Amino acid sequence: MILAFDTYYFDNKAKTVCVSFNKITDAEPTEIKDEIIKDVPEYEPGSFYKRELPCILSLLKKYNLEEVELIIVDGYAILNNEGKLGLGGYLYEELNKTIPVIGVAKSQFNVENKFAKELFRGESKKPLYVSAIGLDLKEAYNAIKDMDGNYRMPTLLKVLDTKTRE
């Protein structure tokens, strides 16, 4: 099973959604779960993970981790050339380095990053930024490239984004 997470913040709350699917090329989720958490911490520049990681870990409790082969997060796994961890990297650490994590960011982090690769999908002139921990960057890049959909955002990540904002 593959899980993809995203979180939306509103009124001091966080709505985290997880879309699960079986193959990276699937066009439909097998299941969608969500959870709203109150009193989330304020955003701390340079430490985004401190706000979002607890939300993901809470929703992750609703899954049997032995069945999870890959997790995709909205953001970076590794932030820079020095290997500073992003949200995906911290999640990987929290899971005792047992489940690979792909980070898919919609915007570029403002530093050079040999651990991230630009991915242009469809006819988009704007790339996605793919990073990974626990698996090869090329493998992660190809996985996101191969996801269903003809546009910049793969179908299931678009579904995830839409459900998160509902």
In this prediction, residue 44 carries a pLDDT of 77
Percent of the residues in the chain that have a pLDDT greater than 90, as a whole number: 89
Average pLDDT value over all residues in the chain:
95
Helix (H) or strand (E) holding 101: strand 101-105
Cβ-Cβ contacts under 8 Å for 41 (sequence gap 6 or more) = 50, 51
Mean pLDDT of all residues in 148-155: 97
Phi, psi of 69 (to 5 degrees): -105, -20
Give the structural domain span for 31.
2-165
User: Could you read off the pLDDT of 37-49 as tens digits, one per residue?
Assistant: 998 888 877 778 9
In this prediction, residue 111 carries a pLDDT of 79
pLDDT band at 112 (very low <50, low <70, confident <90, very high): confident
User: Under DSSP, is residue 93 helix (H, G, I), strand (E, B) or coil?
Assistant: helix
Q: If DSSP states are collapsed to H, E and C, what string results for 110-146?
A: CCCCCCEEEECCCCCCCCEEEEEECCCHHHHHHHHHH
Mean pLDDT of all residues in 158-163: 97
Per the structure block, which two tokens stand in for 138? 């090329």
CATH of the domain at 78: 3.30.2170.10
Mean pLDDT of all residues in 72-76: 96
Percent of the residues in the chain that have a pLDDT greater than 70, as a whole number: 99
In this prediction, residue 41 carries a pLDDT of 83
User: Model pTM?
Assistant: 0.96
User: What is the number of domains present in the chain?
Assistant: 1
What one-character-per-residue DSSP string does 30-90 give? SEEEEEEEESPPPP-TT-THHHHHHHHHHHHTTS-GGG--EEEEES-SB-STT--B-HHHH
